[in-house]
Amino acid sequence: MTRITVDLGPRSYGIEIGPNLLESLGEKVSEVAPATRCALITDESVGAIYGTSAQESLERAGYRVERIAVGAGETSKRLSVVGAVYDQMAAARLERKSPVIALGGGVVGDLAGFVAATYLRGTPFIQVPTTLLAQVDSSVGGKVGVNLPAGKNLVGAFYQPKLVLCDLDTLQSLPEREYRAGLAEVIKYGIIEDVALFESLEAQTRRLNERSMDYLAPVIRRCCEIKASVAQRDEREGGLRQILNFGHTIGHAIEAVAGYGGVFARRGDLDRHGQSGGPIRKTHGV
């Protein structure tokens, strides 16, 4: 296991990267957010694979776990889903000290983070990203939020997690298309900040495509270091942090034109991510 610190004064936190970290999730959460109850927010796809082991780990650490599963896919990133999650949390009598744990990809992390930022005016938030994209980008840096019919990520907050736990084993179950989406973010870091990383990615495509953990682990670490370094210097995107949006702006435009998962996605991907299209017409922000 390797650990990076995101240095933001009182909002500092660690990113832990390694295999088999879900096993010790409860122990790690109790170090940063001791409480009697917690919310474990996931989606139906990720929950079916990792939900039980995450829940059992939290229970071993003494938490009473309220497990909340949203539908898989971008359509869950909306205010009506946020409202339903608040209702379930209130019914379970979750308190201000109760941590909210996001187990999943970017949609779950953004949604759960927004819930954590706003439920009872803020509860401790833990990111457990299970996609490559979420491990190298969306789980780090504190951007949380949901979409509006008028556009993507139009409502949100900068709300830093207390801990990011990247269990590398979860990458083995990622559909190929989602893995490649994460690789695009990895390549981004090479382009915006690290020529040696970019050249290494070019030279090691076979190991990348094989998801060789020996190769991926230091690559993920390097991406998180770059992200942490930018977020530390410009937490609220006054200027520098915009560099992290490199490729996102065009990507969001393509997403909008394609109806959020319609034109370019294959059937199997839609089964995992859910069909969007819906009312979201325009992209804006990242």
Tell me whether strands 143-148 and 151-158 are parallel, antiparallel or unpaired.
Answer: antiparallel
Q: Considering only 21-29, 31-39, 73-81, 137-145, which stretch makes contact with ligand GLY by CB under 6 A?
A: 137-145
Q: In sequence order, which ranges of 92-203 are alpha helices (DSSP H)?
A: 106-118, 132-133, 176-192, 195-203
Q: Is 105 in the site for ligand GLY (CB under 6 A)?
A: no
**Residue 242-281 contact track with ligand GLY, rule CB under 6 A, x = bound:** --xx------------------------------------
Q: Is 137 in the site for ligand GLY (CB under 6 A)?
A: yes
Q: Is 143 in the site for ligand GLY (CB under 6 A)?
A: yes
- 127/276 Cα distance (integer angstroms): 24
Give residue for tokens 């979860």. 170
**Which residue from 104, 124, 129, 141 is in contact with ligand GLY, where contact means CB under 6 A?**
141
Binding to ligand GLY (CB under 6 A): which residues in 228-247?
241, 244-245
Tokens for 235, please give them.
Answer: 């937490």
Q: Considering only 66-74, 75-83, 134-142, 174-182, which stretch makes contact with ligand GLY by CB under 6 A?
A: 134-142
On whether the CB atoms of residues 233 and 240 are closer than 8 A, the answer is yes
- 217/11 Cα distance (integer angstroms): 25
Q: Which residue is nearest to ligand GLY (CB)?
A: 244
Q: Which is nearer to ligand GLY, 127 or 138 (CB)?
A: 138
Among candidates 135, 165, 138, which has minimal Cα distance to 153? 138
- 146/109 Cα distance (integer angstroms): 10
Q: Is 216 in the site for ligand GLY (CB under 6 A)?
A: no
Coil, helix or strand for 196?
helix
Q: Is 286 in the site for ligand GLY (CB under 6 A)?
A: yes
**Least distance (Å) between residue 219 CB and ligand GLY:** 18
- The site for ligand GLY, by CB under 6 A, has a size of 8
**Least distance (Å) between residue 241 CB and ligand GLY:** 5
Q: Which is nearer to ligand GLY, 1 or 157 (CB)?
A: 157
Sequence-ordered list of residues with C-beta below 8 angstroms from that of 211, at least 6 positions apart, any chain: 171, 172, 179
Among candidates 162, 125, 120, 141, which has minimal Cα distance to 241? 141
**Least distance (Å) between residue 129 CB and ligand GLY:** 12
State the angle between helix axes of 195-203 and 213-233 in degrees (0 to 180), rounded to the nearest 10: 160
Binding to ligand GLY (CB under 6 A): which residues in 21-80?
none
Q: Which is nearer to ligand GLY, 89 or 286 (CB)?
A: 286
- 77/95 Cα distance (integer angstroms): 23
**Least distance (Å) between residue 113 CB and ligand GLY:** 11
Q: Which is nearer to ligand GLY, 116 or 286 (CB)?
A: 286
Q: Which is nearer to ligand GLY, 66 or 255 (CB)?
A: 255
Among candidates 194, 66, 84, 189, which has minimal Cα distance to 136? 189
- The torsion angles phi and psi of 59, rounded to 5 degrees, stand at -65, -40
Q: Which positions lie near ligand GLY, rule CB under 6 A?
A: 137-138, 141, 143, 241, 244-245, 286
